[in-house]
A and B are shown apart, each in its own frame.
Chain A
Amino acid sequence: MFDRIWRSHQIVERDDGQALLYVDRHLVQDGSAPAFEMLRQRGLVPRAPERTFSTPDHYVPTDSRDLATVGDPEKRGMAQALIDDSARAGITCFGLGDRRQGIVHVVSPEQGLSWPGAVIACGDSHTSTHGALGALAFGIGATEVSHVLATQSLWQRKPKTMRIAVDGRLGSGVSAKDIVLAVIAKIGAAGAVGHVVEYAGSAIRDLSIEGRLTVCNMSIEAGARAGMIAPDDATFEYLAGRPYAPAGRDWDDALLRWRALPSDPAAGFDREVSLDAGAIEPMVTWGTSPEDALPITARVPDPAGASSPERRRAMERALAYMGLQPGTLLTDIPIDRVFIGSCTNGRIEDLRSAAASVAGRKVAPGVEAWVVPGSGLVKAQAEGEGLDRIFVEAGFQWRHPGCSMCLGTNGDVVGPGQRCASTSNRNFVGRQGPGARTHLLSPAMAAAAALAGRLTDVRQLASGTVRP
């Protein structure tokens, strides 16, 4: 599949093996001001504004829809620059007053802009998300964003390929987030560097499109250039009728092309990895790299048992930052904050899953818990289903869409030393704010943590055996 997409988008190949790839879809968010500035300095304008779509997400407030409430003029300026740059270039922008606004990686699939077989680029590392629909999608830096704006193309060295097969049935309380955390724990944060990953196997097939988006989203946390999943009937059903999906005869033509995309079962990969879905438990991270993930039933690991001196030092450093002692039960770790949202877990199924955990219970005293929908449409749908009331009555804050506390660029941060159960994608040192301690987990697990005031096995919550 990867080879087919690569070959069909190759404009020219250089003698050093790098190919100039055509970019079908360019997604732009409010971190892109430097790229537009580079373009202006050269006197260039975007070449294909009709292939480019934008929405502000990194710098938007989540307590209101009024940019003026963003105190820092430079932050406010980032969101405003996107709106202005888009208007100037004729790029469709889902702005703050538009219900379609949201996190770019939630909005694009939702609008039917992410197509199977497409090459999709965006100046954000989590662009790997869109591979869930069978696209080749990857993150790029500011200079490359300006290159795509100017030429609708990118020079790329052909990556290697890796197949990660997850077979079997997931246990109850186990979700797409747990699959991808288990994958990263197994292969490591550098496990897929230089590779495009294709996820396969019955457990991946059985995932909804939203679950697949979660898995592909975190491919970058294993170092992958991109993650992708072969399109199937579930993909086509998801896309059918979405605003920017092909329609009428174009849809029929597209389906013919898309059905021909999946890899030949005998296709070779440079590397193969397999996981047993039935053995995956609800996962949570204890350290400062997404690879530091363990089943919730485990204990904080002891650096003394590390595989190498380098690993031991890394573990000691992580535990010191996280304020954790080896041997502590993960379920004994108290939390201060909960963040449910992000491009990893800000979609409607994520919110339904979290709301199901809540089921009439209350957020533990002293815990500040937030739900930040991934887009205005996710928010509206959740409100239509009454999920907002479930959250608010339990004591959660129900906020407006944006990247929010995943990286805190808009000022939504976790305080120094505070511990946050977060459905986002990175537990790096200081990721959610200077000194903030992040535990990555699924939406159901995050909600369970909010209710118990500590990391909790959602399966015990469901069976009523959780300690008060």
Chain B
Amino acid sequence: MKRFERVLAVALPVAQPNFDTDQILPARYLQKPRANDFGAYLFRDLRFRSDGSEVPDFPLNQPAYRDARIVVAEANFACGSSREHAVWALGDHGFRAVIAPSFGDIFLSNALKNGLLPVVLPSDVVAPMLRALLAQPGSRVAVDLEAQTVTGPDRSVHAFAIDPFSKRCLLQGQDELDYTLDQLGHIEAFERRVAAGSA
């Protein structure tokens, strides 16, 4: 997994609640092998017309936002389908962090396993941040995982919570599976207890 320490980058505003994973990555690309650049399909039907030309109004197509590496979104970002491809699409396009008041539970879990940092901040912090990003396209936001802080376009600093294990995995670029495989003894013991009817 890709390591995450800190990112200072242009932030892309997604000023819509309940922005579902079908919008992030439409279902018709789910059969593409992982070796594909899923960044090309990111926000596909919002970014591009059916003939492949860009939708000029879509923020990511505007010069000021093109180098965005952070998404700032409204509540329940990436709800819906469990497709990990939504995380791959954001990551392949270069996004490293998503800031929102809440996330779809499955997306949150998928993001943490792919080096994409989901940051939960209260809506009274996110709403003015979104307004600032829309008013000043190209504004930068900083996310520091070690310090667990977000610095907004107005230089205001906001602390965020993350569980220590996920933080360690992200900082070190370590996969959870390696850690679990070290626990196989516990899993085997549990299976023996189940087999003996005591679990």
Task: List residues of A whose CB falls within 8 A of some B CB.
Answer: 8, 11-12, 14-18, 20, 22, 31, 34, 37, 42, 58-59, 72, 74-75, 77-78, 123-125, 138-144, 146-147, 150-153, 155, 157, 159, 189-190, 193-194, 220-221, 223, 225, 289, 291, 310-311, 313-314, 317, 407-409, 416, 426, 428-431, 434
> Which of B23-31, B57-65, B137-145 is found at the contact surface with chain A?
B23-31
Known: A151-B187, A428-B80, A434-B26. A190 touches B102 (CB 8 A): yes
Q: Which of B30-73 touch A at CB < 8 Å?
A: 30-34, 45, 50
Q: Are A426 and B80 closer than 8 Å at their CB atoms?
A: yes
Interchain residue pairs with CB less than 8 A apart (16):
A15-B164, A16-B165, A20-B183, A31-B83, A77-B31, A123-B82, A125-B81, A140-B109, A153-B187, A155-B180, A159-B105, A193-B103, A317-B16, A426-B81, A430-B23, A430-B45
Known: A141-B106, A225-B105. A409 touches B28 (CB 8 A): yes
Chain B residue nearest in CB terms to A59: B31
Known: A141-B84, A141-B106, A193-B105. A428 touches B22 (CB 8 A): yes
Enumerate chain B residues within 8 angstroms of A428, measured Cβ to Cβ: 20, 22-23, 80
Q: Are B163 and A16 closer than 8 Å at their CB atoms?
A: yes
Whether B151 sits at the interface, judged by CB under 8 Å, is no
Complex Cα–Cα for A239 and B30 (A): 34
Enumerate chain A residues within 8 angstroms of B87, measured Cβ to Cβ: 141
Whether B104 sits at the interface, judged by CB under 8 Å, is yes
Whether B186 sits at the interface, judged by CB under 8 Å, is yes
CB distance from B117 to the nearest CB of A (A): 16
Q: Which of B94-115 touch A at CB < 8 Å?
A: 102-107, 109-110, 113-114
Q: Count residues of chain B with CB under 8 A from any CB of chain A.
A: 53
Chain B residue nearest in CB terms to A409: B27
Q: Are B79 and A190 closer than 8 Å at their CB atoms?
A: yes
CB distance from B112 to the nearest CB of A (A): 9
CB distance from B189 to the nearest CB of A (A): 8
CB distance from B145 to the nearest CB of A (A): 15
3 smallest CB-CB distances across A and B, nearest first, come from A190-B76, A141-B110, A141-B84
Q: Are B194 and A22 closer than 8 Å at their CB atoms?
A: yes
Q: Scoring B residues 110 to 124 as 1 if CB is less than 8 Å from chain A, else 0, what string do you get?
A: 100110000000000
Whether B75 sits at the interface, judged by CB under 8 Å, is yes
Q: Are A150 and B181 closer than 8 Å at their CB atoms?
A: yes
Known: A11-B190, A16-B165. A141 touches B82 (CB 8 A): yes
Known: A147-B180, A434-B50. A289 touches B18 (CB 8 A): yes
Other-chain contact of A409, B30, B75, B194 (Cβ < 8 Å): B30
Complex Cα–Cα for A82 and B104 (A): 27
Enumerate chain A residues within 8 angstroms of B20, measured Cβ to Cβ: 289, 426, 428-429
Q: Are B163 and A151 closer than 8 Å at their CB atoms?
A: no
Enumerate chain A residues within 8 angstroms of B17, measured Cβ to Cβ: 189-190, 310-311, 314
Q: Are B31 and A151 closer than 8 Å at their CB atoms?
A: no
Whether B15 sits at the interface, judged by CB under 8 Å, is yes
Complex Cα–Cα for A314 and B15 (A): 9
Enumerate chain A residues within 8 angstroms of B18, measured Cβ to Cβ: 189-190, 289, 291, 314
Other-chain contact of B165, A18, A75, A221, A426 (Cβ < 8 Å): A18
Q: Are A144 and B163 closer than 8 Å at their CB atoms?
A: no
Enumerate chain A residues within 8 angstroms of B114, measured Cβ to Cβ: 143
Q: Are B102 and A17 closer than 8 Å at their CB atoms?
A: no
